[in-house]
Amino acid sequence: MGDEATILHADLDSFYASVEQRDDPALRGRPVLVGMGVVLAASYEAKAFGVRTPMGVHQARALCPRAVVVPPRMSAYSAASKAVFEIFRDTTPIVEGISIDEAFLEVAGLRKIRGTPREIAARLRVRVRNEVGLPITVGVARTKFLAKVASAVGKPDGLLVVPPGEELAFLHPLPIERLWGVGPVTSGKLRDQRIHTVGHVARIGEAGLVAILGAHAGRHLHALAHNRDPRRVRVGHRRKSIGSQCALGRRPRPFAEIDATLAALADRVTRRMRGANRPGRTVTLRLRFDDFGRATRSRSLLKATMQTRAILEAARALLAEARPLIETRGLTLVGLAVSNLEGEGAVQMPLPFDDPYDDQLDIAVDAVRDRFGSAALTRAASLGRDLGPSVPILPD
């Protein structure tokens, strides 16, 4: 860890909702919900009423009756993200994208030509506002972990620098939920032990945390509570998974419709895999239920593949395993992701070479969709069905 805070975490504020407010002046200053059956994003005006993601739209409307609900426009969000990342890369060559709306930037060594990290962050925020029309919050610290915490504390539309030597004084009064990896389950375990702040976590010691949470989680949180995070900002880090998810709404859906949605997601995900030439081995099904609970099922294949049929068969097997949960708890969102991605040219051809049909079919379908649009070809099972918006996998 260096002597100066040079890591920036830049995070667009309520990204989807902010894009909608930017593009439609009538929405500015009003509570906005982006989504169909499930809220994918909420403006800060809506969050003030207690609306959170991934809350159902019906529940969100009950909390905020005056909210305006708009369907997601992924092409608009993608264009805005691209414009913002161009500003990131113009600010420093060392940019590590985390998601569509956030990134880490390393600005060490730029003082003579760009100024201090605080000055660089301030100019970045002005450029994003003036050139893209969106609010962005930037946290600055010596570690990636603390820079991300700083941006979260600095929201909305803020700039927060944590000076060297003052990190623990800033970090320790914060609630335990600010630590990476502390979700509802871990938070409950810690609070049951009267551990409420990061400072409490730091003082309990590693052995105590291991006894409560297990070896991996205990050591991880102990290190973070002392701001120990050796990771550096990495350029050109290749994504670990390719996925997409679809909000289904709150009304009951027949299993055949869920299967059709899954097939459409498999088409979308494998097309992106082939576009990036990144075969994968692990298929993951993500489900979100009517009670806001979640379930994840995964299966690893023997060989990496980009074939739609192979990925879909694995996904359908996982869906069949989860069918009892779906039928008893109701399903509001389904997601599909493929991980353990390999590099270009990493596909090992099966022996004997007796199944060229799938590859040829995938190539032909991709060519038609590339030329005439994604809707040019669709599965028969999807005809006449409202599959809902298909969006990139969101973090759990």
Q: Are 45 and 154 in contact (CB under 8 A)?
A: no
CA–CA gap between residue 28 and residue 328 (Å, rounded)? 40
* Band of residue 379 on the pLDDT scale cut at 50, 70, 90: low
- Both 106 and 123 in a single domain? yes
Q: Which pLDDT does position 53 carry in this prediction?
A: 80
Over residues 10-38, the pLDDT tens digits come to 999 999 999 999 999 999 999 999 987 78
- The highest-confidence range among 47-51, 75-79, 216-220, 300-304, by mean pLDDT, is 47-51
Over residues 193-234, the pLDDT tens digits come to 899 999 999 998 889 889 888 888 889 899 999 999 998 998
- Both 130 and 11 in a single domain? yes
- Both 289 and 221 in a single domain? no
CA–CA gap between residue 290 and residue 98 (Å, rounded)? 29
Is position 232 within any domain?
no
Structural domain span for residue 250? 241-392
Is position 17 within any domain?
yes
- Both 287 and 339 in a single domain? yes
Is position 235 within any domain?
no
Of 49, 45, 69, the residue nearest 58 (C-alpha): 69
Over residues 268-286, the pLDDT tens digits come to 899 888 877 888 989 999 9
Number of structural domains in the chain: 3
- Both 255 and 203 in a single domain? no
- Both 186 and 102 in a single domain? no
Q: What is the mean pLDDT of residues 305-334?
A: 92
- Both 154 and 5 in a single domain? yes
- Both 63 and 151 in a single domain? yes
- Both 77 and 18 in a single domain? yes
Q: Which pLDDT does position 380 carry in this prediction?
A: 53
For residue 361, the surrounding DSSP H or E stretch is: helix 356-372
The CATH number of whichever domain residue 303 belongs to comes to: 3.30.1490.100
Is position 236 within any domain?
no
Q: Which pLDDT does position 374 carry in this prediction?
A: 52
Non-local (6+) Cβ contacts of 151 within 8 A are 9, 10, 11, 102, 137, 138, 139, 160
Model confidence at 174: pLDDT above 80: yes
Model confidence at 357: pLDDT above 80: no
Catalytic residue chosen out of the listed positions 102, 167, 313, 321: 102
* Band of residue 104 on the pLDDT scale cut at 50, 70, 90: very high
Decide which of 138, 163, 188 is a domain's last residue: 163
Of 41, 2, 6, the residue nearest 20 (C-alpha): 41
Decide which of 163, 185, 214 is a domain's last residue: 163
For residues 388 and 161, the model is more confident at 161
344 tagged catalytic: no
Range in 179-183, 245-249, 309-313, 370-374 the model is least confident about: 370-374
Q: What residue type is 246 in one-letter code? A: C
CA–CA gap between residue 17 and residue 260 (Å, rounded)? 29
Over residues 328-339, the pLDDT tens digits come to 888 988 999 998
Rg (CA), the chain: 23
Query: For the CA atoms of 20, 48, 388, 374, what is the dihedral angle to 10 degrees?
Result: 30
- Both 345 and 385 in a single domain? yes
Q: What is the mean pLDDT of residues 158-162?
A: 96
* Band of residue 350 on the pLDDT scale cut at 50, 70, 90: very low
* Band of residue 392 on the pLDDT scale cut at 50, 70, 90: very low
Range in 136-145, 157-166, 235-244 the model is least confident about: 235-244
Q: What is the mean pLDDT of residues 137-144?
A: 96
Q: Which pLDDT does position 61 carry in this prediction?
A: 93
Q: What is the mean pLDDT of the chain?
A: 85
Model confidence at 387: pLDDT above 50: no
Decide which of 111, 128, 163 is a domain's last residue: 163
Over residues 190-201, the pLDDT tens digits come to 998 899 999 999
- Both 205 and 328 in a single domain? no
- Both 41 and 113 in a single domain? yes
